[in-house]
Chain A
Amino acid sequence: MNQKAIVIILLILLTSFTIIGRLFYLQILDEKYKDLAHKNAVKKEYIIPERGYIYDRHHQLLVSNLPIYDVMAIPKQIKAFDTLAFLKYTGISKDDLLKALKKAKTYSRNKASLIVPKLYKNEVALLQEKIYKFPGFFIQRRAIRQYHTQSAANVLGFIREVNEKELKKDPFYMPGDLIGKAGVEKSYEKILRGKKGIRYYLTDKFNRKIGSYKNGKFDTPAEVGKDLDLSIDIRLQEFGDSLMQGKRGAIIAIEPQTGEILALVTAPSFPPAYLSGRNSSKNFNKLFRDKVNNPLLDRGLQGEYPPGSPFKMLNGLIGLQEGVIQPGTAFVCNHGFNYGRHNHMFCHCGANGRSVHLPWAIERSCNTYFSKSYLNIINNYSTPAEGLDVWHNYLARFGLGQYLHTDLPVGSKGFIPDSKFYDRYYKKGRWAASYTISNGIGQGEVLTTPIQLANVAAAIANKGFYVTPHIIKNIDGSQKTVDTFYLKPKQTGIDPKYFDQIIQGMAAVYKKGTAKYSQLKDIELCGKTGTSENKTRIDGKVVKLPDHSIFMAFGPKENPKIAVTVFVENGGYGATVAAPIATLIIEKYLRGKITRTDLLNRVLNTDLTEIYQKKAPKNDEKQ
């Protein structure tokens, strides 16, 4: 063959080998291109499952989901569009649109950003039809909570977008996801939220979906959130709300045998829907800033107050268990008694020098009886420190002075002093039982929350045990996955036989004592009034305000079905407001209707707003 032809053939072969070598390098040796292609085209999409519904104890729907629509845009795909029409369809202002578009561009040119949030179905209908006229824009459906009650905002809580901290803490969340921020939405977040699904899909160079990746081989389906049945009775809860109109405070109702919270009313409150929907952020700030009414505070769970008289029964029970008093023990009460060298404990029980027995002491709330019982408990031990710690431990077993660990995300410890506290206060060994005598009558250092008192009422009704109060009844229709902590009874360490006289005394409170006017026909109730003093500073002067009104009750006396604690700020003497409210709650729950309409009217007509306004800090007194 011609030599030059061979040179040309060699040139061709050289070129082909160069090409083959390059192909071999790219396709066989260099692995990075596979990843690059994958990164280019395979995108991951999370499917947000529907959040679980929330029902009350009778399976009445309280919270469901409402579809809501966000208008999104991918800046790179936006072409010139009819701005006026867009504004008309979405109802936002031109400034808002421009601001949103600018923000979207700074965030990412290829990723979708939120332009118009939270449009309802009817508001988005027009835009949905014309969306093809706005390239780069699309409508994304998501869900917000829909509420079927005006009540129980403190129990139900609310959901909001996750914040940075939550994003970091739990990799489950992506920016823009919703998370429970309060109430059961928070404490049962993991159950309600379900499991996100993952879908892989292929995109083209414009980031448009062109199909599933490997026919969905790697996809995982979303799991819908589980439904919750709460223990609350929504009708009782709503009734409680109506009773608390014009008042501040809390009503807590518990089923004693199970610890299920039947009603958890805090006042003032707000409808749960207030923190859902388009104005939720604005509304939240409004509530948050309202330091006068403090509607975000759950007074039933978080409020700490001196318990007053209801605390006396605990001293009676501990005294009996410790053997420092007997069921027949009587103390002489002569408008109180002297203790230490110069001190006197006053008493208004009206015994006037006669001996006082335990039931009578409860009925008349005798300070002498329980102070002496308290002193005997402490002094039964060689040092007051030892005695006080024994006393403290009894109370701890009633759930006092520590978190009760309900299944709601907020709570307070309250306070029950121990020896360390007084050692610090008076110096070690430099104090005696009599220094702490106020503890005997629920004043002094002792602080409890209304739910702790309600739990004490339940423990008395149960004669010695309680189940930690909780709001959950069923998860997904059964108790199987409910934390056993809320199912197991806890013993208080007090022998059941010692409760008889206490209960007898509490029944007498209704029959002939302070709650006489609140008694119910045919249902024997047990109760105990309480009053706690409070003062405030107005214009620099300390002013005494009407007492906080407290009432603890359960009923019926035999086989109790409900235990209640009512707390009304500045409600005055316990029997005036708190007792009727507790009675009405019990009657409503046991009978389903109200026969004591006179009580009902009196409660409904009690409006304490004027007193609260006096208490309100003046605007110029900002901290």
Chain B
Amino acid sequence: MKNSRKAGIFDYDWISVLLFNLLVLIGIISIYSAAYNETQTQVFQTFYGKQALWFAFSYVLVIFISFLSLKSIKNNASLLYLIGLGLLILVLIAGANINGNKSWFRFGSFSIQPAEFVKLLTVLGLAKLLIEPEFKISRIKNLLQATVLVLAPVFFILLQPDLGSAIVFLSLFLVFYRDGLSIIYYLLVLLIATLFITTIYFGQQKILLSISVIFILVNLFTYFKLKKIYWLQTIFVLFISVLTILGTNFVFHKILKPHQRNRIEIVLGKKKDDKGTGYNLKQALIAIGSGGLHGKGLLKGSQTQGDYIPEQHTDWILTVIGEQWGFLGTLTVVLLYTFLLIRLIFLAERQKQKFSRILGYGLVAILFAHYALNMLMVLGLFPTIGIPLPFLSYGGSSLWAFTLLLFIFLKFDAHRVEDW
């Protein structure tokens, strides 16, 4: 025993807890104004009433976590991961069909979305895998193992189908980076993504031509400056580039569904569809843009009160904040997230145990993916996909899953100096 005193619930990082509470409270107020209805008298029938209830219950979860043994979590991480996969399979069989998606278990009037919790379970499973002795992420075999571990839930979630949740899982590759995977992989993915988008935007021929020019120039530059030609690397990158460019049209027109194509084209400004697929985005931009510097005030937003944006209490909650509290409101929220993420990285880095550090980075990766993709989507910089804003958007499953993820990590952090 290094310490005589065991850490308790009050040793959790108070900055993170404060940021968590602030975000949830801002969320509840926003949900209140998004779904404001004078005639609704029963508070717990309203969205904000329910969200407040979920918030209260999330503290029950926090207390529950405080009784969990960290050791047992760590030891049973693989099992928990498998249970997660089991849940994803079960929801495909026994889930309720809502708008053609089988993402929810329904118990009477109460529904729960397993994918939200599987994020936590996958992070645990990944942490468990990465701390295996002899495991090196830079080794191809181990990389493949870890990749399969991450992609397995993605596979089942795509079957629901729920593209938004699936994309969020991919953020776990960020954990690989921290654990030693070369940045080359990420740069390659970035290259492919860039080529994919530019090809859609400018067309195959222009991009092929520009790529060729760039390669010739880069090689000429390296030849004259460094007196060396990187043949192998050049050919490899060129191969991937050309494959991407040629594959883009196929993926874009044959694999993506029409509405997904539309959404990409709308973000790229190639298409205007303010009445159809682009309606939400257009109205969202109007709501946020009309907020100005300090917004129109609580319940004074014409876009919000006029219900112009469907799902403004869930995925599009930023529009409510933007309209009612303006740039100051949105800036506050962005800064809260940024502080929380940086704080969590700081916490993750101070872990003595690799397991809890990976847990921390898993949390950061998923939180970051949600925050970034949701905001970029609402601001028209990313195609529309269904990703809620963590802690802010309405939804019990999402709130509880993030609460569990956050507080389990915070508990690990509180006990970081103990020998558990």
Which residues of chain B have C-beta atoms less than 8 A from A20's C-beta?
331, 334
Q: Determine if B327 and A24 form an interchain contact, defined as CB atoms under 8 angstroms apart.
A: yes
Which residues of chain B have C-beta atoms less than 8 A from A23's C-beta?
288, 322, 327, 330-331, 334, 379
Q: Determine if B303 and A2 form an interchain contact, defined as CB atoms under 8 angstroms apart.
A: no
Confirm or deny: A590 has a beta carbon within 8 angstroms of a beta carbon on chain B: no
Confirm or deny: A342 has a beta carbon within 8 angstroms of a beta carbon on chain B: no
Confirm or deny: A585 has a beta carbon within 8 angstroms of a beta carbon on chain B: no
Smallest beta-carbon distance A460→chain B, Å: 70
Tell me whether A40 and B289 are in contact in the complex, defined as CB-CB below 8 angstroms, given that A19-B379, A23-B330 are known contacts: no
Of B177, B308, B338, B341, the residue contacting A40 (CB under 8 A) is: B308
Q: Determine if A28 and B308 form an interchain contact, defined as CB atoms under 8 angstroms apart.
A: no
Q: Determine if A204 and B342 form an interchain contact, defined as CB atoms under 8 angstroms apart.
A: no
Which residues of chain B have C-beta atoms less than 8 A from A22's C-beta?
379, 381
Bound together, the chains give a CA A1 to CA B347 distance in angstroms of 11
Which residues of chain B have C-beta atoms less than 8 A from A12's C-beta?
338, 341-342, 345, 368
Q: Determine if A205 and B308 form an interchain contact, defined as CB atoms under 8 angstroms apart.
A: yes
Q: Which of B174, B183, B323, B372 has the most CB of A within 10 A?
A: B372
Which residues of chain A have C-beta atoms less than 8 A from B361's C-beta?
8
Stretch at the interface among A31-39, A346-354, A615-623: A31-39
Confirm or deny: A108 has a beta carbon within 8 angstroms of a beta carbon on chain B: no
Bound together, the chains give a CA A284 to CA B375 distance in angstroms of 64
Q: Mark A40-64, 1 if CB is under 8 A from B, else 0.
A: 1110000000000000000000000
Bound together, the chains give a CA A211 to CA B289 distance in angstroms of 22
Which residues of chain B have C-beta atoms less than 8 A from A32's C-beta?
289
Smallest beta-carbon distance B310→chain A, Å: 9
Q: How many chain A residues have a CB neighbour from B under 8 Å?
A: 36
Smallest beta-carbon distance A329→chain B, Å: 87
Stretch at the interface among B69-77, B140-148, B290-298: B290-298
Which residues of chain B have C-beta atoms less than 8 A from A34's C-beta?
289-290, 292
Confirm or deny: A203 has a beta carbon within 8 angstroms of a beta carbon on chain B: yes
Smallest beta-carbon distance A128→chain B, Å: 22
Q: Determine if A33 and B305 form an interchain contact, defined as CB atoms under 8 angstroms apart.
A: no
Of B306, B307, B334, B379, the residue contacting A26 (CB under 8 A) is: B379
Confirm or deny: A210 has a beta carbon within 8 angstroms of a beta carbon on chain B: yes
Of A13, A24, A37, the residue contacting B286 (CB under 8 A) is: A37
Which residues of chain B have C-beta atoms less than 8 A from A204's C-beta?
305-308
Smallest beta-carbon distance A301→chain B, Å: 54
Tell me whether A40 and B288 are in contact in the complex, defined as CB-CB below 8 angstroms, given that A19-B379, A27-B326 are known contacts: no
Q: Determine if A202 and B342 form an interchain contact, defined as CB atoms under 8 angstroms apart.
A: no
Tell me whether A41 and B306 are in contact in the complex, defined as CB-CB below 8 angstroms, given that A4-B178, A12-B368, A15-B372 are known contacts: yes
Confirm or deny: B264 has a beta carbon within 8 angstroms of a beta carbon on chain A: no
Smallest beta-carbon distance B47→chain A, Å: 17
Which residues of chain B have C-beta atoms less than 8 A from A13's C-beta?
338, 342
Confirm or deny: B287 has a beta carbon within 8 angstroms of a beta carbon on chain A: yes
Bound together, the chains give a CA A534 to CA B372 distance in angstroms of 96
Of B183, B293, B341, B376, the residue contacting A28 (CB under 8 A) is: B293
Tell me whether A28 and B327 are in contact in the complex, defined as CB-CB below 8 angstroms, given that A5-B345, A37-B302 are known contacts: yes
Tell me whether A18 and B381 are in contact in the complex, defined as CB-CB below 8 angstroms, given that A12-B341, A23-B330, A38-B302 are known contacts: yes
Confirm or deny: B268 has a beta carbon within 8 angstroms of a beta carbon on chain A: no
Q: Determine if A37 and B290 form an interchain contact, defined as CB atoms under 8 angstroms apart.
A: yes
Task: Find the B residue at minimum CB distance from A211.
Answer: B305
Q: How many chain B residues have a CB neighbour from A under 8 Å?
A: 44
Confirm or deny: A30 has a beta carbon within 8 angstroms of a beta carbon on chain B: yes
Which residues of chain B have C-beta atoms less than 8 A from A37's C-beta?
286-287, 289-290, 302-303, 323
Confirm or deny: A9 has a beta carbon within 8 angstroms of a beta carbon on chain B: yes
Tell me whether A40 and B302 are in contact in the complex, defined as CB-CB below 8 angstroms, given that A22-B381, A33-B285, A33-B289 are known contacts: yes
Bound together, the chains give a CA A9 to CA B178 distance in angstroms of 11
Bound together, the chains give a CA A23 to CA B326 distance in angstroms of 9
Confirm or deny: A16 has a beta carbon within 8 angstroms of a beta carbon on chain B: yes
Q: Determine if A202 and B292 form an interchain contact, defined as CB atoms under 8 angstroms apart.
A: no
Q: B59-85: which have CB < 8 Å to A?
A: none
Q: Determine if A36 and B177 form an interchain contact, defined as CB atoms under 8 angstroms apart.
A: no
Of A8, A18, A30, the residue contacting B289 (CB under 8 A) is: A30
Q: Which of A9, A26, A211 has the most CB of B within 10 A?
A: A26
Which residues of chain A have C-beta atoms less than 8 A from B338's C-beta?
12-13, 16
Smallest beta-carbon distance A152→chain B, Å: 51
Q: Which of A18, A34, A37 has the most CB of B within 10 A?
A: A37
Bound together, the chains give a CA A13 to CA B335 distance in angstroms of 10
Q: Determine if B305 and A36 form an interchain contact, defined as CB atoms under 8 angstroms apart.
A: no
Which residues of chain A have C-beta atoms less than 8 A from B293's C-beta?
27-28
Q: Determine if A36 and B334 form an interchain contact, defined as CB atoms under 8 angstroms apart.
A: no
Smallest beta-carbon distance B186→chain A, Å: 10
Tell me whether A28 and B302 are in contact in the complex, defined as CB-CB below 8 angstroms, given that A5-B345, A8-B174, A36-B286 are known contacts: no
Tell me whether A41 and B368 are in contact in the complex, defined as CB-CB below 8 angstroms, given that A19-B334, A26-B379, A33-B286 are known contacts: no
Bound together, the chains give a CA A26 to CA B331 distance in angstroms of 12
Task: Find the B residue at minimum CB distance from A42.
Answer: B302
Q: Determine if A16 and B345 form an interchain contact, defined as CB atoms under 8 angstroms apart.
A: no
Confirm or deny: B364 has a beta carbon within 8 angstroms of a beta carbon on chain A: yes
Which residues of chain B have C-beta atoms less than 8 A from A8's C-beta?
174, 177-178, 345, 361, 364
Confirm or deny: B349 has a beta carbon within 8 angstroms of a beta carbon on chain A: yes
Bound together, the chains give a CA A559 to CA B283 distance in angstroms of 79
Confirm or deny: B48 has a beta carbon within 8 angstroms of a beta carbon on chain A: no
Bound together, the chains give a CA A202 to CA B323 distance in angstroms of 15
Smallest beta-carbon distance B215→chain A, Å: 26
Which residues of chain B have C-beta atoms less than 8 A from A205's C-beta?
283, 306-308
Which residues of chain A have C-beta atoms less than 8 A from B346's C-beta?
1
Task: Find the A residue at minimum CB distance from B178.
Answer: A4
Bound together, the chains give a CA A90 to CA B128 distance in angstroms of 74
Which residues of chain A have C-beta atoms less than 8 A from B308's C-beta?
40-41, 204-205
Which residues of chain B have C-beta atoms less than 8 A from A203's C-beta?
306
Q: Determine if A28 and B303 form an interchain contact, defined as CB atoms under 8 angstroms apart.
A: no
Task: Find the B residue at minimum CB distance from A28.
Answer: B327
Task: Find the B residue at minimum CB distance from A1.
Answer: B349
Bound together, the chains give a CA A2 to CA B177 distance in angstroms of 12
Task: Find the B residue at minimum CB distance from A34.
Answer: B290
Tell me whether A4 and B379 are in contact in the complex, defined as CB-CB below 8 angstroms, given that A9-B342, A28-B292, A28-B327 are known contacts: no
Bound together, the chains give a CA A202 to CA B302 distance in angstroms of 7
Smallest beta-carbon distance B318→chain A, Å: 9
Confirm or deny: B400 has a beta carbon within 8 angstroms of a beta carbon on chain A: no
Which residues of chain A have C-beta atoms less than 8 A from B372's C-beta?
15, 19
Which residues of chain B have C-beta atoms less than 8 A from A211's C-beta?
305
Q: Determine if B334 and A16 form an interchain contact, defined as CB atoms under 8 angstroms apart.
A: yes
Bound together, the chains give a CA A2 to CA B350 distance in angstroms of 10
Confirm or deny: B337 has a beta carbon within 8 angstroms of a beta carbon on chain A: yes
Bound together, the chains give a CA A28 to CA B326 distance in angstroms of 9
Tell me whether A41 and B285 are in contact in the complex, defined as CB-CB below 8 angstroms, given that A5-B349, A15-B372, A34-B292 are known contacts: no
Which residues of chain B have C-beta atoms less than 8 A from A2's C-beta?
178, 349
Q: Mark A194-215, 1 if CB is under 8 A from B, else 0.
A: 0000000011110000110000
Q: Determine if A27 and B303 form an interchain contact, defined as CB atoms under 8 angstroms apart.
A: no
Q: Determine if A210 and B341 form an interchain contact, defined as CB atoms under 8 angstroms apart.
A: no
Which residues of chain A have C-beta atoms less than 8 A from B348's C-beta?
5
Q: List 5 tightest A-B contacts by C-beta distance, closest first.
A: A33-B289, A41-B302, A37-B290, A204-B306, A27-B327
Give 23 pairs: A residue, B residue, CB < 8 Å, sorted on A. A1-B346, A8-B178, A8-B361, A9-B342, A9-B345, A12-B341, A12-B342, A16-B335, A16-B338, A19-B375, A20-B331, A26-B379, A27-B288, A27-B293, A27-B322, A27-B327, A32-B289, A37-B286, A37-B302, A37-B323, A40-B286, A41-B303, A211-B305
Q: Give chain B's interface residues, CB within 8 Å of chain A.
A: 174, 177-178, 183, 283, 285-293, 302-303, 305-308, 322-323, 326-327, 330-331, 334-335, 337-338, 341-342, 345-346, 348-349, 361, 364, 368, 372, 375-376, 379, 381
Q: Give chain A's interface residues, CB within 8 Å of chain B.
A: 1-2, 4-5, 7-9, 12-13, 15-16, 18-20, 22-24, 26-28, 30, 32-34, 36-38, 40-42, 202-205, 210-211
| Extra pairs beyond A8-B178, A19-B379, A36-B289 (10, CB < 8 Å) | A8-B177, A12-B338, A12-B345, A13-B342, A16-B334, A18-B376, A20-B331, A27-B293, A38-B290, A40-B308
